[in-house]
Chain A
Amino acid sequence: MSSRKADATKTPTWQLVAVWTLVLVPMGWGVLETLAKAAQLFS
């Protein structure tokens, strides 16, 4: 368990946040665009 704590500090949190933001932002944009189109089904 202590080794996991020590390991976790080797990859900085900002790097994790940056790479996940890089992929989640375009994916979220695509989903929102599609949801806006899907809303026409029930309008």
Chain B
Amino acid sequence: MAGFLDRERTVAGPGFNRWMVPPAALCIHLCIGQVYAFSVFNLPMTRLIGITESAPGDWKLTTLGWIFSISIVCLGLAAAFAGSWLERVGPRKAMLLSATCFGGGFLVSALGIWLHVIWLVYLGYGVLGGIGLGIGYISPVSTLIKWFPDRPGMATGMAIMGFGGGAMIGSPLAVGLMAFFSGPESVGVAPTFVTMGLIYFTFMTIGALLVRLPPEGWLPAGYQPPAESGKLITTAHVHVDEALKTPQFYLVWMVLFLNVSAGIGVLGQASAMSQEMMPGKIEAAAAAGFVGLLSIFNMAGRFIWASASDYLGRKNTYLVFFALGMALYAAVPPAAAMGSVVLYVLCYCVIMSMYGGGFATVPAYLKDLFGTMHVGAIHGRLLTAWAAAGVMGPVLINYIREFQIEAGVPKAQAYTVTMYIMVGLLFLGLICNALIRAVDSRHHHGEPDTGGSRS
């Protein structure tokens, strides 16, 4: 069994169609993207004892909020520490470990819910699930880059689009299962966790079985790699430890951190924010629709922007994200003041598409700067920017809003300062992106990607 999972056994035979690999990646990302829909469990989990309403002894929302936070922290840590291991053992073993952790995390949490022991839920979905998330997120990325050297942005965009789409599947699936399993004596959360754990484990395992690595030196038919490094695109490779010594790594870290910080706070507070900024124009049901629309643009942006980056270049794509993002954030307060729902929604939809696009384009940016050999490990280290932005973004939105309201600013205008701070963050990102240059050749090692067999 161990042999079957080995990197050598994952190498594709002659004639393997590379279009079999993106669905393998999507099998993983469509499952782990469920983490963004975890909030659908929050209210039912506050009624595990009381069933119809919270009873003394039931868990509080603040207690449950830690489950998501722990899983995101473990995602960042697992991605950072498992990256080098993943490059060594290959994608199949890593994807199967991810499936076991993520699916197993649901099962351990189900036991915790059944016994009403919160630390088991923290350990299950938080720690185990988070590790599964982190390893699963980075597992297929470097494999896709190696299969699609001609279109690395499009290839990774497809997989990371799946992460955006995962919440769209996870949310209605969880709601439907809880409705099916609930009754007079249960809210149905524990059996829902068991069912979802088994479904996700099966689906992710299919992805692990489907995935293949290209043979050493393989290149797509008709593709001519550049003979020498271009302005930013290298044909050499940089080791992950060496990459951490370059200013480019930290500049890309800042680029991702600032792009994500500007979007993640909006995504988390979209419902309440839209109702408060557009009173009388956007009510609760419409706000739920607004959140749904943002999810669709977040998902579509991952594929569209990352694919566009293959033509525009990675640096130019981020230039668009920052410059257009600044203009759109600055346009939000006047759009709200005018009462224009269409303009308001349009601004946020484009902003969300660029938030998703930032995630999906960054692996190809790393491939351009550091080569393909250690891109999975470098990507893993870079995802600590996501964890940091996950703390910074919501804090900016929530605390500045509260400060404004306490200072007597009307609720409809409480977000205005935040929007201008977002413009400032994006301006910083614009500078960091502009400072990125090609990695100095003293950091390179290994043979350059200038040729090889074709199929």
Contact = CB atoms under 8 A, between A and B. Distances in A.
Interface residues of B, number: 38
Interface string A29-41: 1110111011111
Given A3-B454, A22-B206, A38 B292 contact: yes
Contacts of A39: 289
A8 B289 CA distance: 44
Interface stretch (B162-170, B307-315, B326-334, B389-397): B162-170
Given A34-B295, A37-B292, A38-B289, A23 B27 contact: yes
Interface string B286-297: 101111110110
Main DSSP-derived SS at the B contact region = helix
Give the interface centre of A8, A15, A35, A37 by most chain B CB atoms within 10 Å: A37
Contacts of A30: 165, 168-169, 172
B14 A27 contact: no
A19 B206 CA distance: 9
Contacts of A4: 221-222, 455
A32 to B, nearest CB: 9
B320 interface: no
Nearest to A41: B289
Contact of A11 (B17, B26, B285, B289): B17
A33 B168 CA distance: 7
Nearest to A4: B221
B160 to A, nearest CB: 13
A34 B421 CA distance: 30
B20 A35 contact: no
A1 B202 CA distance: 38
For chain A, the bracket of interface size reads: 20 to 34
Contacts of B154: none
Contacts of A41: 282, 286, 289-290, 292-293, 341, 345
A8 B24 CA distance: 19
A19 B210 contact: yes
A24 B202 CA distance: 16
Contact of B221 (A3, A19, A29, A31): A3
Given A1-B221, A31-B296, A38-B296, A16 B30 contact: no
B441 to A, nearest CB: 35
Nearest to B27: A23
Nearest to A20: B23
B165 A31 contact: yes
Contacts of B165: 27, 30-31
Contact of A35 (B162, B221, B285, B292): B292
A33 to B, nearest CB: 5
Nearest to A10: B15
B13 interface: yes
B296 A40 contact: no
A35 B291 CA distance: 10
Contacts of A26: 30, 169
B16 interface: yes
B296 A34 contact: yes
Interface centre among A4, A15, A41 (most CB of B within 10 A): A41
A11 B23 contact: no
A19 B207 CA distance: 9
Interface string A5-22: 011111100011001101
In the A-B complex, list the 6 residue pairs whose CB atoms are closest, starting with the nearest: A10-B15, A30-B168, A41-B289, A11-B17, A40-B289, A30-B169
